[in-house]
Chain A
Amino acid sequence: MKGWRVKSRSLTVAVALGLVLAGCGGGGSDDDGGPVGEPKQGGTLTYAVNVETVSLDPAFCTLSFDRCAPIFGTLLRYDVDKQQFVGQMAESFESTDGKSWTLKLRDGVTFSDGTPYDAEAVVYNWDRIKDPKTLAPSARYTQGLTWKVVDPLTVAVTSEVPNFQLPWALTQGLSTIGSPKAIEAAGEDIANSPVGAGPFVLDKWTRNSQAEYSRNKTYFEEGLPYLDKLVIKVIGADDQRLNALRSGEIDVDWSLLTKDAKAIDSEGGYDIYRVPLNGGTGLQFNLKDPVVSDEGLRQALLSAFDSAQINNAVYPGDEPVDAFLRPDSPYRDDALGKFPEKDLDEAQRLFDDYLERTGKTSETVTFLCYAGIPALEQVAQLIQSQMSKIEGLEFKLEPVDGATLSQRSTARDFQTIMGASLSQDMDRLYSVFHTDAPLNVMGYSNPTVDEALDTTRRSNDPAEVEKAYQVVNGELSKDGPLRNWRYQTGHLFANDKVQGIVLAGTSSGASAYWQYAWLNE
């Protein structure tokens, strides 16, 4: 039996560099001595994910990296090994002041329909994303940005305020560039007719079953991709994806479950790749609510919270959560703050103090949670039982479907809610926790956090940025606007014939740049 290998890549150590290096990285090196032999051409790799994407319109690709990156590539890529951005479809993205950026494109790159992948094409795609009528989910990345074509291979981008984290946008929401000619020709059918310049072209898409790709013969990186074909299947059930991997139906499985990683580990014959995500899933407070905005009450709830119990019961194998960021994050400085430890006596004391201050004899707090997802229902019940240990507090569950939860979250129509902040990039914290941020549904406002988050964008000094994120983590852990019970880790499980996986992180877990993967058959 072949021993298993954990190939871990931390994406939490990203410090954006203003200077983006040119050139593309090759296949990722292995922790255990590297790939087996020289890369081989040919073969079909089958990869399974858990949900279908709704659209392959390049303006919607922020929701579906897995399906879009093979077709469109990405302008930039975050190289986990080098811990810096590298050019992918683009050559470089540079700035000296964080406000004026220059995007340089590669000469001679064409879309698979033969039209040039040039500055006009980039600007066409970004204009389309910015146009409210497109309803593009990535429109928020364009806020505060303007751009113009300088020459066929150069786009000048101006940010209203200095932002050295801007390259993240070119790995995500603004990264996928489609052929303007194809977009115009497809009209309303653009969601199904993607034409890019990435390593693969889409041959067939059977929604909710699989998407089939073949090698893009005009891809600019010589010799890549190694694979002839890539098949991405949609298999919703975690157990079924594992069964498909075991039976050889798929070569690579996507997972968020540590227990499945352990199961696969014990069986042997698979490589396990990990992408630790920043943040996690947890109990989120509405700080504009007249009841839970009370600092004392909130601290009482946080003191009764027991993430270890939740993980033991629902996510066995996951590490305990004691601060917003995971223990191995370089942005952790525990001296700056951690979540309150579980202390029921302290919780009761704080709660009694709250009652005394407000002249109440009891209090009711409602927890808006998911209905119909067994694991999350179990978590909600565990939290309710933990909170019920505070005498005088009634902690009510209000289970709703996902869409309702999302809407009420946006409308800030909750007291406490099951929420999450997950990402591969630290800049997501700005969008979620800055006072004026678009995703700050909690109404959280802490001047220290705002100042630190501003520093993370304004500064081009990695040490200063690192320190600022440590401050953010400390404050978020002390204040607990989002008390996560779990640090989430994305996994890829690959059978041992799959080599050359170069990991990518997404907000939903792990993925890969499939042009570098090859089969050792």
Chain B
Amino acid sequence: MNAVVWRRRAGSVARFFLLLFLVTVAVFLLLDLIPGSPVDAILPPEATPEQRAAAAEQYGLNDPMWQRYLDWLGGILQGDFGRSFQTGLSVSDQILERAPVSIELAVLAMIVALAVSIPVGVWSAYRPGSVVDRVSTFMISATLATPAFVLGILLVYVFAVKLGWLPVLGWVPFSEDPAEHIKRLILPVLTLAAGECVLFTRLLKGDMMATLQQDHVLSARARGLPTRSILTRHSLRQSSFSLVTVSGVVIGRLIGGTVLVEAIFSLPGMGTMVITAIQSRDYIVVQAVVLLSAIVYLSMNTLVDLSYPLLDPRVRKVRTS
């Protein structure tokens, strides 16, 4: 690998850290940007003046902003996001407790979405107008027109209330009861995966249709290569460019953004944690979750950026030239 490639990679990493710094500043300012004093954000309206003074003292809100930023950043660099205003709990501990739920949900939703959308997208592009294509087009339109919370409640009504096959909601740790754990994840994962399925299928179908018209694919067909080989080896890899880009962004979004599904199904993940934090004005927790979501986003984008040359050697050539 030559120096130009290394320089470009170093540039990606430098951009990552610059953006990360800007994100920390923006997230830190979250509390100060709220109208009024940060103390008002922490305490209930009926708080006494003595309580306001005590809160300002306890949380260092009398210190200059730059000092508070440095203290906060210093804590984060040591893995300490501070203590919740409302619960007194370590925010880091809360995140460590909740993140596995959100990550499991997001990763499973991602796997389901890819497992459905890749074959459907490929086949729809290969055989436009076929039954698979028409059914998938209909399903895409229907899903696009259905918000996640409606879909979630609809799935619950059919599979839990009417058919009684699955539980309505709730969470059982895998260690307590693996079968119940999986049963309780099915509806949330389907709800979360549905929207991503639509996105992935449309993207892949569009890219595949373009790839299938390219010379090397036509040549492969002319040479009598098997359909499976043409679709997977010669077309899918090249067509997965947009899919990989979007998947990276989506997994970042899913981990930080399962709020709605967690709320509908009462799952103890980071989404419901942030809802409670917002409702109770617990901005230390909100800051931590927003920061982590941003870090996941940025990391996934950087990884995707770095992975392009691995997917398509032409990118490497174009960039180095």
Contact = CB atoms under 8 A, between A and B. Distances in A.
A413 B160 CA distance: 47
B87 A407 contact: no
B21 interface: no
A58 to B, nearest CB: 13
A143 B49 CA distance: 12
Contact of A139 (B34, B47, B170, B268): B47
Contact of B161 (A136, A246, A438): A246
B270 to A, nearest CB: 10
A266 interface: no
A243 B166 CA distance: 12
B54 A55 contact: no
Contacts of B51: 132, 135-136, 139
A206 B171 contact: yes
B276 interface: yes
A137 interface: yes
A402 interface: yes
A35 B42 CA distance: 45
A120 interface: no
A188 B93 CA distance: 14
A54 B36 contact: no
A161 interface: no
Nearest to A62: B44
A407 B35 CA distance: 7
Given A209-B171, A403-B278, A236 B263 contact: yes
A404 interface: yes
Interface string B30-47: 000011100011111111
A317 to B, nearest CB: 21
B264 interface: yes
B83 A188 contact: yes
Nearest to B44: A137
B267 A209 contact: yes
B50 interface: yes
Nearest to A403: B281
B40 A402 contact: no
Interface in A160-192: 188-192
A247 B160 contact: yes
Contacts of A244: 168-169
A135 B55 contact: yes
B87 A55 contact: yes
B157 interface: yes
A489 to B, nearest CB: 22
B89 A237 contact: no
Interface in B29-78: 34-36, 40-48, 50-51, 53-55, 58
A413 B35 CA distance: 10
B61 to A, nearest CB: 13
A135 B51 CA distance: 6
Given A55-B88, A249-B167, A133 B157 contact: no
B264 A407 contact: no
B88 A438 contact: no
B287 interface: no
Contacts of B276: 51-52, 54, 207-208
A408 interface: yes
Interface in A480-509: none
A441 interface: yes
Contacts of A135: 42-43, 47, 51, 54-55, 58
Contacts of B161: 243, 246-247
Nearest to B48: A139
Interface in A213-243: 233-237, 239-240, 243
B275 interface: yes
Contacts of A133: 54, 58
B272 interface: yes
B209 interface: no
B149 interface: yes
Nearest to A406: B45
Interface residues of B, number: 54
Interface string A335-347: 0000000000000
Contacts of B160: 243, 247, 249
B273 interface: yes
Nearest to A411: B36
Contact of B268 (A188, A209, A401, A438): A209
A409 interface: yes
A382 interface: no
A163 to B, nearest CB: 17
Contacts of B88: 55, 57, 188-191
Instruction: Select the residue from B58, B167, B168, B279 with max chain A CB neighbours within 10 A.
Output: B168
B100 interface: no
Nearest to A246: B161
A322 B260 CA distance: 37
Nearest to A401: B278
Interface string B166-192: 011111000000000000000000000
A156 interface: no
Contacts of A246: 161
Most A C-beta atoms less than 10 A away, residue of B46, B167, B272 = B46
Interface in A272-306: none
Contact of A249 (B40, B50, B168): B168
A262 interface: no
Nearest to B51: A132
A407 B266 contact: no
A148 interface: no
A240 B268 contact: no
A191 B90 CA distance: 12
Given A191-B88, A240-B156, A249-B169, A407 B41 contact: yes
A410 interface: yes
Contacts of B149: 237
A435 interface: no
Contacts of A349: none
Contacts of A209: 170-171, 266-268, 272
Interface string B90-111: 0000100000000000000000
A140 interface: yes
A511 B144 CA distance: 39
Contacts of B219: none
Nearest to A439: B46
A516 to B, nearest CB: 26
A210 interface: yes
B63 to A, nearest CB: 18
Given A206-B268, A207-B268, A243 B48 contact: no
Nearest to A441: B45
Interface of B: 34-36, 40-48, 50-51, 53-55, 58, 83-84, 86-89, 94, 149, 153, 156-157, 160-161, 164, 167-171, 262-269, 272-273, 275-276, 278-282
25 contacts: A54-B84, A55-B86, A135-B47, A135-B51, A135-B54, A137-B46, A192-B89, A209-B266, A209-B267, A210-B170, A233-B169, A233-B170, A234-B266, A234-B272, A237-B263, A243-B168, A244-B169, A247-B168, A402-B278, A407-B36, A408-B35, A411-B40, A413-B36, A438-B46, A439-B45
Interface of A: 51-52, 54-55, 57, 132-133, 135-137, 139-140, 143, 188-192, 206-210, 233-237, 239-240, 243-244, 246-247, 249, 401-404, 406-411, 413, 431, 438-439, 441
Given A207-B273, A407-B36, A439-B46, 5 more contacts: A54-B84, A132-B53, A188-B83, A243-B153, A249-B170
4 shortest A-B CB distances, which residue pairs?
A: A208-B272, A132-B50, A54-B86, A132-B54
